[in-house]
C-alpha cells in the first residue's frame, strides 16, 4: 500500500500569536494562530502543528486556550508541542483538543516520558521532535553522514530551541525514540531552518531509512521543488513548512497540485 504524503503547516506560537524567524531567531508576527489554521484547513492541509516556543509554565494556560479554540473550528488533526514536560501536560493538551503531542527537550532529558505517553494514550499520539545540527568534529561513536559536497559529518541533537548541544547522535536517538514508543519523528535541521534553501536531505533520508515510523521533514522550504525533494530524496512521509504559507508565498493547494502533477501520492486539495 502506498501511503499518502502529507503537507503540514507549522505555527510557532509566542504569547498567543504566530511568529516566524530564521534559524530560530529574528521573530516576526505572522497573525492569529486559529485564523491561520482555519485558512490552511480550507486549503486542504493534512494536519496542523502548533509549537509553543516560549513554553513557560505561565504561558501554558494561553496555549491551552488556543488549542481549545482551534479544536472547535478545525476539521483536521492538530499536533501541539512546547512545554510538554510530564504525563499530566500530555493529558491536558490532549483533553484540550489536540490529537497528538510533540516532545523535544523533555524527551531527551527524560526518555521514559515517551514510554509513559505511549502506554497511556497510544503511540499514535506521541511525536518526538528532534532538532539537529551538523557537527564536523571527529566522533568515532557517531554515525557519519555524507553531504552533497563530499564531506562527512555527524548530526548532533540540540535542545532548548537549538541553543544546547547534547552530544547525542541524531540517528541513534531517532531509533531509540521509536523503540520507546514514538509514533512519529518531527525532524528539524538547524542548518536549514528558515533559510528557504530546502530541507536538509542527507539527515532526513538517513533517519527515514533508520526508523520504521513516519518522519516529518522540517526546516528550509523556499519553493515547490523543495517539497518534492523532501519526499523523493529525503524519503520523508510528511513535509512541514511555516513562513512560505504564513506570508502568502504559496498555498497548501498550490503545493499539492504541484506534487500531484509530479506523480506523488497526495490527498487532493479542497476546491471551493
Q: Which H, E and C letters describe the chain, residue by residue?
A: CCCCEEEEEEEEEECCEEEEEECCEEEEEEECHHHHHHHHHHHCCCCEEEEECCCCHHHHHHHHHHHHHHHHHCCCCEEEECCCCCHHHHHHHHHCCCCEEEECHHHHHCCHHHHHHHHHHCHHHEEEEEEEEEECCCCCCCCCEECCCCCEEEEEEEECCCCEEEEEEHHHHHHHHHHHCCCEEEEEECCCCCCCCCCCHHHHHHHHHHCCCCEEEECCCCCHHHHHHHHHCCCCCEEEECHHHHCCCCCHHHHHHHHHHCCCCECCCCCC
Tens digit of each residue's pLDDT (9 = 90 or more) over 58-68: 456 668 889 99
Tens digit of each residue's pLDDT (9 = 90 or more) over 75-114: 899 999 988 999 999 999 999 999 999 999 999 999 999 9
Coil, strand or helix: which one is 238? strand
Determine which one of 89, 131, 169, 229 is catalytic: 131
- Residue 23 confidence (pLDDT): 47
Residues near 272 by beta carbon (within 8 Å), at least 6 away in sequence: 42
Residue 31 C-alpha cell reads as 497573525
On whether the CB atoms of residues 190 and 158 are closer than 8 A, the answer is: yes
Q: Rounded to the nearest 5°, which phi and psi values hold at 55?
A: 50, 30
Rounded Cα–Cα distance for residues 22 and 14 (Å)? 15
Residue 209 known to be catalytic: no
On whether the CB atoms of residues 101 and 93 are closer than 8 A, the answer is: yes
Rounded Cα–Cα distance for residues 239 and 231 (Å)? 7
- Residue 182 confidence (pLDDT): 98
Residue with cell 542548518: 191
Rounded Cα–Cα distance for residues 199 and 216 (Å)? 11
Coil, strand or helix: which one is 179? helix
Tens digit of each residue's pLDDT (9 = 90 or more) over 103-136: 999 999 999 999 999 999 999 999 999 999 999 9
Tens digit of each residue's pLDDT (9 = 90 or more) over 4-62: 999 999 998 888 888 865 544 556 677 889 999 999 999 999 999 998 877 654 456 66
Rounded Cα–Cα distance for residues 38 and 42 (Å)? 6
- Residue 15 confidence (pLDDT): 80
Among candidates 50, 52, 68, which has minimal Cα distance to 60? 52
- Residue 211 confidence (pLDDT): 98
- Residue 246 confidence (pLDDT): 85
On whether the CB atoms of residues 21 and 194 are closer than 8 A, the answer is: yes
Residue 72 known to be catalytic: no
- Residue 60 confidence (pLDDT): 60
Residue 87: how many other CB atoms lie within 10 Å: 15
Higher pLDDT, 269 or 201: 201
Domains of the chain: residue spans and CATH = 6-261 (3.20.20.70)
Tens digit of each residue's pLDDT (9 = 90 or more) over 182-221: 999 999 999 888 789 999 999 999 999 999 999 999 999 9
Tens digit of each residue's pLDDT (9 = 90 or more) over 225-264: 999 999 999 999 999 998 899 888 999 999 999 999 999 9
Amino acid at each position: 500500500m502506498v501511503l499518502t504524503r502529507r503537507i503540514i503547516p507549522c505555527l510557532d506560537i509566542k504569547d498567543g500569536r504566530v511568529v516566524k524567524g530564521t534559524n530560530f531567531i529574528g521573530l516576526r508576527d505572522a497573525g492569529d494562530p486559529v485564523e491561520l489554521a482555519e485558512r490552511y484547513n480550507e486549503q486542504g492541509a493534512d494536519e496542523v502543528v502548533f509549537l509553543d516556543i516560549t513554553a513557560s509554565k505561565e504561558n501554558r494556560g494561553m496555549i491551552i486556550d488556543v488549542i481549545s479554540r482551534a479544536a472547535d473550528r478545525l476539521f483536521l488533526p492538530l499536533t501541539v508541542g512546547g512545554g510538554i514536560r510530564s504525563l499530566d501536560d500530555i493529558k491536558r493538551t490532549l483533553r484540550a483538543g489536540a490529537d497528538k503531542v510533540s516532545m523535544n527537550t523533555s524527551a531527551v532529558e527524560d526518555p521514559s516520558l515517551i514510554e509513559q505517553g505511549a502506554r497511556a494514550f497510544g503511540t499514535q499520539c506521541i511525536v518526538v521532535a528532534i532538532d539537529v545540527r551538523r557537527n564536523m568534529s571527529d566522533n568515532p561513536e557517531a554515525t557519519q553522514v555524507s553531504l552533497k559536497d563530499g564531506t562527512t559529518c555527524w548530526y548532533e541533537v540540540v535542545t532548548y530551541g537549538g541553543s544546547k548541544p547534547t552530544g547525542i547522535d541524531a540517528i541513534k536517538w531517532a531509533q531509540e525514540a521509536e523503540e520507546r514508543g514514538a509514533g512519529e519523528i518531527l525532524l528539524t535541521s538547524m542548518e536549514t531552518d528558515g533559510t528557504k534553501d530546502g530541507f536538509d536531505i542527507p539527515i532526513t533520508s538517513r533517519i527515514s531509512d533508520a526508523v520504521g515510523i513516519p518522519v516529518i521533514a522540517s526546516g528550509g522550504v523556499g519553493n515547490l521543488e523543495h517539497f518534492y525533494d523532501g519526499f523523493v530524496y529525503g524519503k520523508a512521509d510528511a513535509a512541514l513548512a511555516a513562513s512560505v504559507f504564513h506570508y502568502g508565498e504559496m498555498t497548501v493547494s498550490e503545493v499539492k497540485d504541484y506534487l500531484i502533477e509530479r506523480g506523488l501520492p497526495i490527498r487532493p486539495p479542497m476546491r471551493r
